[in-house]
Amino acid sequence: MKKQDSVFSDRITDVPRSFIREILKVALDPSVISFAGGLPNRALFPVEALKEATSKVFDAHGRDVLQYSNSEGYPELRDYISARYREKSNLDVPVENILITSGSQQGLDLLGKIFLNDGDGVVIEEPGYLGAIQAFSLYKPEFLPVSVSSQGMDVERLSSVMSKCPKLVYTVPNFQNPSGISYTEQNRRDVSRALEGTSTILIEDNPYGDLRFTGEPHSSFKELLPDNTVLLGSFSKCIVPGFRLGWIVAPTHIMKKLITAKQATDLHTTHFTQSIVYQYLRDNNIDEHIKTIIDVYGRQCQAMLSSMQKYFPPGVTYTEPEGGMFLWVELPQNVVALDLFELAIKDKVVFVPGDPFYVNRTRTNDLRLNFSCVDEETIVTGIQRLGNAIGKIAGTGA
Ligand SMILES: Cc1ncc(COP(=O)(O)O)c(C=O)c1O
- The pLDDT value given to residue 15: 75
3-state helix, strand, coil in the chain (%, to 5): 50, 15, 35
104 Cα–ligand 1 center, Å? 6
The whole-number average pLDDT for the span 252-263 is: 98
207 Cα–ligand 1 center, Å? 6
Please indicate whether residue 233, judged by its CB atom, sits closer than 6 Å to ligand 1.
no
- Judge whether residue 398 has pLDDT over 50: no
pTM (2 d.p.): 0.95
- The pLDDT value given to residue 397: 41
Please indicate whether residue 372, judged by its CB atom, sits closer than 6 Å to ligand 1.
no
Alpha helices by DSSP H, 93-246 = 103-115, 130-137, 155-161, 185-195, 221-224
pLDDT per residue as tens digits for the range 184-196: 999 999 999 999 9
Looking at ligand 1, which atom is closest to the CA of residue 129? 1
How much of the chain exceeds pLDDT 70, in percent?
95
Let me know: does 85 contact 276? Beta carbons within 8 Å: no
- The pLDDT value given to residue 170: 98
Best mutation site among 111, 130, 176, 177 for ligand 1, i.e. most ligand atoms within 8 A of its Cβ? 177
pLDDT per residue as tens digits for the range 327-340: 999 999 999 999 99
236 Cα–ligand 1 center, Å? 8
Please indicate whether residue 103, judged by its CB atom, sits closer than 6 Å to ligand 1.
yes
CA neighbor of 380 nearest in space, from 320, 305, 295, 294: 305
Q: How does the average pLDDT of the chain come out, rounded?
A: 95
Distances (CA, A) of 127 to 130, 252, 321, 372, 390: 9, 31, 15, 20, 21
Whole-angstrom distance, CA of residue 313 vs CA of residue 128? 26
pLDDT per residue as tens digits for the range 271-318: 999 999 999 999 999 999 999 999 999 999 999 999 999 999 999 999
The whole-number average pLDDT for the span 376-398 is: 89
How much of the chain exceeds pLDDT 90, in percent?
89
Please indicate whether residue 82, judged by its CB atom, sits closer than 6 Å to ligand 1.
no
109 Cα–ligand 1 center, Å? 12
- The pLDDT value given to residue 37: 87
Domains of the chain by start residue, with CATH: 3-45+288-396 (3.90.1150.10), 68-283 (3.40.640.10)
Query: Which of 142-146, 191-195, 362-366 is least confident?
Result: 362-366
- The pLDDT value given to residue 26: 73
Other C-beta atoms lying within 10 Å of the C-beta of residue 10: 8
pLDDT per residue as tens digits for the range 45-98: 999 999 999 999 999 999 999 999 999 999 999 999 999 999 999 999 999 999
Please indicate whether residue 107, judged by its CB atom, sits closer than 6 Å to ligand 1.
no
Please indicate whether residue 205, judged by its CB atom, sits closer than 6 Å to ligand 1.
yes
Please indicate whether residue 179, judged by its CB atom, sits closer than 6 Å to ligand 1.
no
- The pLDDT value given to residue 22: 66
